[in-house]
Structure 1
Amino acid sequence: MMKNWLAAGAVALTVGMTSTIAQAQTTTVPGEQVGLAVGAPLPEGIYAINTFTYRRPDAPSSALSGSADTAVNIPLLVWSTPFVPFGGRVEFLVAAPTVFAFSRNPAGVANKDISINVGTFVAGVWAFDLGNNFGVSLLGGVYLNDLNGDRGSIITPQGTTATPVLGQLSSNTYRMGVAASYTGDGWNITGNLTANIYDSPGRFPGQVGAAIGPLRISDSLNFDLTATKKFGNFEIGPIAYGTYNFDISQASLAAGNRGRFAIGGLIGYDFKVFTMQAYVARDVVTGAQYANAFGRVRDNYSTDGWVRLIVPLYSAAPAASPVPTALVRKY
C-alpha cells in the first residue's frame, strides 16, 4: 500500500511554484518530487493530495537584501484512469497552487505578508511498469498563468508599488518531465528531470503590464533524487535536488543566478488510511546572493521544510477471481 501511495504522491508534486520571491527561477518548486516514486504508475483510482513547503533564506528580511520567507501550498486531485495504451497507465491531474511571502520585518517596521495565486495546473502522465520493480513515466502539462494567475505588482507597506513580484506569471509555464524509479524490497530509488519552458518575453496585461513592459524569463531544468528505505511502516533516507537556469544574462529574471543544489533527509509513516512524509534540506550550492549591512556580497543559502499528506478517495475494486469449476474431460 505504501508503494502505491508513494506513486500517488509523485503526481501530487507535479505542481508547484518558485520558492523565493526575490530571485526568479523555475515555476516548478525545486525538490517537489523527492521522496516519491515518480516513475511508478498509480493504481486506478482518485487521490486527494496536499503539499506544503516553507523556505527560509539566510539573508535578513530588509529592503537591502530583498529577502523574505516563502511558502507554497498545493491542493491537488488526481485521476488514475483505467486506460493503459501500449501498457502505460494514463493519469490526469489538476491543482491550484498558492504562494505566500512573509517579510520577517523587525519591531517598528511595517509587515507585508502576501499571497499569490499561481495559474491552475493541468497535466497528464503516462506511466509504465517495466517489471522487476522498475518503472518510468512521462509528464506533460501547463500552468495557466495567462488565464488565472495573479498579476505583476503589490503595494508595499510604504505605499509604493513593487513590480514584478513573480515575473514567471507573465507567461504560461509549459512543463515536461521524465522519471525512473526502482521500488523493490522496500526501496525507493528515483531520479527525475523536469523542464519549464516559457513564452519569453512574457507580458502582464493591463496598465500595470504596460508599465512593466516585456520580461525575459529563463527556461530551466530541475533534478530530484531519492534513495529511501522502508522499515515496517516507517521510511527514511537521503534526498537531494536542484535547479539550473539557462539564461542568467542581466536582461533575464534569473540574472546572475545559475541555480541551486540542496541535500537533506526524509522520514515518512504509513498510517494505512493515509500517508505522511516530511523532509528538510539545506542548500550546499546557490547562485542567489545578497548584500549585508556592510555592503559585502554573500551567498544567500536557504533551508527548506516540507510536509505531504496523501489520501486515496477511491480505488477500483480488484477484479474478482473466477470461481473454480470442475474440469470434465471426454476420452
Structure 2
Amino acid sequence: MTRRTLAVLLSCVAAGPAYAGSAAQPGQTIGLPVGAQLPVGLYFVDTSSFGVRDTAPLSSESNVNLPTFAWATPWTLFNARLQFFFTQPVVASSTRGAPYNSGIGQPLLAGQLAWNLGNDIGVSYLFGGYLPIETQFLTQSASLSHRFAISYTGNDWNITANLLYGLFLDTRSPSGTLYPDYINLDLTMTKKFGKWQVGPVAFASTDLPTGVASERPQGQIAVGGLVGYNFGPVNLQAYVTRDVVERNYGGHETRGWLRAIVPLYQDKGEAAPNRTTVTRRQSQ
C-alpha cells in the first residue's frame, strides 16, 4: 500500500526513508460502494495510480497498481453476504529524483460481511491481513486491516464512507523503519447520468501515536473529482486527487487514478437489470 493498498483494495511509498505509512493506500477505495452487497459472482478490479509529490529539491513519484479478485458468495452469515478479496500490489517509486525502485507489495487476504439494510442503504465490515514480504523499499511487516463502510446507492447515487483501521504486528522492520498503526477515510459522492458517473471525492489518512519520541507521524487530506463510464460489462473510472493538507510528507501530492471493473462471472438471478458492475446501482 510504502504508504498504504478491495477492497479491495494496497501499498505505496512514503516520502522519507525513515518512516513508512499504512499498508493500505489512502484513496484506493474511492468510487466503490463498498458498504453495499455485491451481486453473487466473481469480479476482477484493477486500480492503478500515479502520483507526484512536490518534495524539494526534486519531486517524488510513485505508481501503485492494485489488481484485485473479489468473490461474492451465495452464502450468508449473521444475515450478511459473505465476500472475499485478494489483492497483489505492484509498486514503483522514485524519491526526490532518485532512480526508480519497483517490486511486489504485500498481498492482502480479506473477508467481508455486507448487510442490506433496505432503502438502498448497506453497511459492511471487512477483516483481513497484509502478509509479510521481503521487498526492501516497501512495507515488510504483517498487519491486520479492519474496514467499516456505509453506502447509499439509491436514485443513481453512490454516497459512501469507508473507514480503514490498520494494526501492524511488528512496529519495526529489520532495517529499523517504524510502522505506526493508521486510520484512513475514503469518501465518495457520485451521481449517474445514463452511462456516465461523475462527482466529488476525498480521502484522509493519519498515522496513530507510537510513543516513539523521534517519530514524525504522517498525514494528509486530499480532494478531487471522479468520472466513470459503463462500456457494457466493463466499467472504467478515473479520478484525480490533490493534497490540501499534508504532514511530514515533504510536500503536497497530485495523483491520477484509473480503475477497470470486470465481472468474470455473475449470477444473473442476483444482478438487477442494467447493473453489471460491482454493486447494484453504482458505476454501471
Q: TM-score, normalised by structure 2?
A: 0.86
Distance 2:177 2:21 in 1: 13
Aligned partner of 1:296 in structure 2 is none
Percent identity for Structure 1 against Structure 2:
36
Q: Distance in 2 between matches of 1:198 and 1:31?
A: 20
Q: Aligned pair count? A: 264
Q: 1:20 to 1:13 in 2, by over 3 A?
A: farther
Q: 2-side partners of 1:218 and 1:316: how far apart? A: 41
Distance in 2 (CA, whole Å) between partners of 1:151 and 1:21 is: 17
**Structure 1 Cα separation of the partners of residues 142 and 267 of structure 2:** 34
State the SS of the aligned residue for 2:134.
coil
Partner of 1:206: none
Deviations 1:1-40 (A, max 9, x none): xxxxxxxxxx934231135353521110111111111100
1:150 to 134, 148, 151: 134
Q: 1:182 to 1:19 in 2, by over 3 A?
A: farther
1:80 aligns with 2:72: yes
Quote the residue 1:327 is aligned against.
none
Q: Which has the higher strand share?
A: 2
8 Å CA contact 2:207–2:217 kept in 1: the answer is yes
Q: Which amino acid aligns with 1:268?
A: G
Check conservation: 1:19, 1:29, Cα contact below 8 A: no
Which one of the candidate residues 197, 203, 206 is aligned to 1:235? 197
Could you say which residue in structure 1 is the equivalent of 2:259? 308
1:20 to 11, 14, 25: 14
Q: Which amino acid aligns with 2:254?
A: T
Query: Within 2, Cα distance between the matches of 1:180 and 1:12?
Result: 15
Instruction: Please point out which of 92, 96, 115 is paired with 1:100.
Output: 92
Q: Which residue of 2 aligns with 1:35?
A: 31
User: What's 1:193 paired with?
Assistant: 163
Report if the CA contact (8 A) 1:61-1:68 is conserved.
no
Aligned CA distance change for structure 1 residues 251 and 25 (closer, same or farther; 3 Å) = farther
Residues 1-331 of structure 1: matches in 2 within 5 Å?
A: 12-22=6-16, 24-60=20-56, 62=58, 68-102=60-94, 105=97, 112-145=99-132, 149-152=133-136, 165-166=137-138, 168-169=139-140, 171-203=141-173, 209=174, 212=175, 214-247=176-209, 255-290=215-250, 300-318=251-269
State the one-letter code of the partner of 2:84: F
Question: What are the Cα deviations for residues 45-96 of structure 1, in whole angstroms up to 9, with x where unaligned?
Answer: 011111101110011465xxxx520011111111111101232110111121
Structure 1-normalised TM-score?
A: 0.75
- Return the alpha-carbon distance in structure 2 between the equivalents of residues 200 and 247 of structure 1: 15
For residues 110-144 of structure 1, the C-alpha deviation after alignment (integer angstroms, 9 at most, x for no partner) is: x6211122122110010011111000000000011
Structure 2 CA distance, aligned partners of 1:61 and 1:113? 17
Q: Deviations over 1:271-319 (max 9, x none)?
A: 11200000001101100254xxxxxxxxx11111100000001012318
RMSD: 2.1
Q: Which has the higher contact order (CA 8 A, sep 6+)?
A: 2
CA distance in 1 between counterparts of 2:14 and 2:7 reads 17
Counterpart Cα distance in 2 of 1:201 and 1:141 = 18
Provide Cα deviations, 1:172-192, integer angstroms capped at 9, x if missing partner. 021001000001101111111
How far 1:103 moved relative to its partner? Answer: 5.2
Structure with a larger share of its residues in helix: 1
Specify every segment of 5 or more residues in structure 2 that has no aligned partner in the other structure, as ranges.
271-284
Q: Does the CA-based 8 Å contact 1:92-1:124 persist in structure 2?
A: yes
CA radius of gyration, larger in: 1
Q: Cα–Cα, structure 1 residues 289 and 18, in superposed 2: closer, same or farther, change >3 Å?
A: closer
Unmatched runs of 5 consecutive residues or more in structure 1: 1-10, 106-110, 153-164, 204-208, 291-299, 320-331
